[in-house]
Amino acid sequence: MGRLDGKVAWVTGAGSGIGAATARSLGAEGATVVLSGRRREPLEEVAREIGAAASVEPCDVTDPAAVRAVVERITARSGRLDILVANAGVNVVERDWARLRPEDAAAMIAGNLTQAFHCALAVLPVMRAQRDGVLVFTASIAGRLVKLLSGPAYTAAKHGLVAMGHALNIQEGVNGIRATVILPGEVATPLLDKRPVPVPAEERARMLQPEDVADLVRYVVCLPPRVTLPEIWITPTWNRLHLAELDPAGMPRPATPPWE
Ligand SMILES: NC(=O)c1ccc[n+]([C@@H]2O[C@H](COP(=O)([O-])OP(=O)(O)OC[C@H]3O[C@@H](n4cnc5c(N)ncnc54)[C@H](OP(=O)(O)O)[C@@H]3O)[C@@H](O)[C@H]2O)c1
């Protein structure tokens, strides 16, 4: 018996990385899993691994009508929707202020923040009627820390996503609905291929792996309905952000601030 037997979960960005690992992990716990992403192929591959309890709904989550249509099909088929993992996200290589294009800035906000509103707004009426539901949003430590590495548009969008999760809990807890925003540090997924400075394989091997975040999502959604975890950080122990502040001997790197 799985802890999610009888539950229906919708995972976005489920064709790769954290979303694929999460779909597998919720499926292994007994949930009926619906996988979304823009490309059908990778979704079908992951669904095949999970088995009969998985199905695919290719969808661009930046399109609110397409998102609503997916939720309508899920509820028409299953009669319920218990778990949303709004995990899809994007970044671009040319992300710094000198190279960021207005259309890319808009795509970062749409692809990391606005789409999560579309997904939440589509599932909330179903969850309110059930008086039960869990929403998990994959943000990033860039949702709390302002660093140049992630780029200003991604950073701003993920800050917005963290705020959105907290705001959701304020109003929807009375309806039995809880939201968790997860803030991962570096995870070895295809998203790293968009880094302006390539990330070597040996460094990816020391980071968080998609399964680490998927395990956390599974933990969150299996908690009793009375428990809400509004915000969780999960970071690699070998943390390149921290390493940047240390010298080779592990001591704080001497700073030479411009005011000295
Ligand atoms: N990897 C990291 O270091 C890291 C750290 C912190 C947070 N995150 C966050 O973790 C989440 C998952 O990313 P990942 O690292 O697992 O990278 P990933 O493998 O690139 O996964 C992102 C997924 O989102 C899907 N997607 C992107 N835009 C979409 C759209 N408009 N509609 C539907 N699906 C869309 C992509 O599939 P299609 O291209 O087929 O649509 C892809 O499967 C993202 O929100 C990311 O910001 C990642």
- Give residue-wise pLDDT tens across range 133-176: 999 999 999 999 999 999 999 999 999 999 999 999 999 999 99
Output the pLDDT for position 256.
64
State the distance from the centre of ligand 1 to the C-alpha of 143, rounded, in angstroms: 15
Cα-based distances in Å from 149 to 96, 99, 186: 8, 13, 11
Q: Is pLDDT at 73 greater than 80 in this prediction?
A: yes
DSSP-based three-state secondary structure for 179: strand
189 lines ligand 1 (CB under 6 A): yes
Q: For a pocket test of ligand 1, which of 93, 187, 192 has the largest count of ligand atoms closer than 8 A to its C-beta?
A: 187
- The C-alpha atoms of residue 169 and residue 166 are separated, in whole angstroms, by 5
State the pLDDT confidence band at 260, using cuts at 50, 70 and 90.
low
Per-residue pLDDT tens for 203-246? 999 999 999 999 999 999 999 999 999 999 999 999 999 998 89
- The C-alpha atoms of residue 198 and residue 255 are separated, in whole angstroms, by 26
State the distance from the centre of ligand 1 to the C-alpha of 20, rounded, in angstroms: 10
Sequence-ordered list of residues with C-beta below 8 angstroms from that of 117, at least 6 positions apart, any chain: 164
State the pLDDT confidence band at 194, using cuts at 50, 70 and 90.
confident
- The C-alpha atoms of residue 97 and residue 196 are separated, in whole angstroms, by 13
Q: Which domains does the chain have, with CATH numbers?
A: 8-243 (3.40.50.720)
State the pLDDT confidence band at 196, using cuts at 50, 70 and 90.
confident
pTM of the predicted protein model: 0.97
Cα-based distances in Å from 110 to 19, 32, 70, 114: 18, 28, 18, 5
Least confident of 114-128, 195-209, 246-260: 246-260
Sheet holding 83-86, edge to edge: 54-56, 32-36, 8-12, 83-86, 133-138, 177-184, 231-234
Per-residue pLDDT tens for 90-113? 999 999 999 999 999 999 999 999
State the distance from the centre of ligand 1 to the C-alpha of 167, rounded, in angstroms: 23
Output the pLDDT for position 258.
62
Atom of ligand 1 nearest to the CA of 111: 31
Q: Report H helices in 51-172.
A: 64-78, 102-109, 115-130, 152-172
13 lines ligand 1 (CB under 6 A): yes
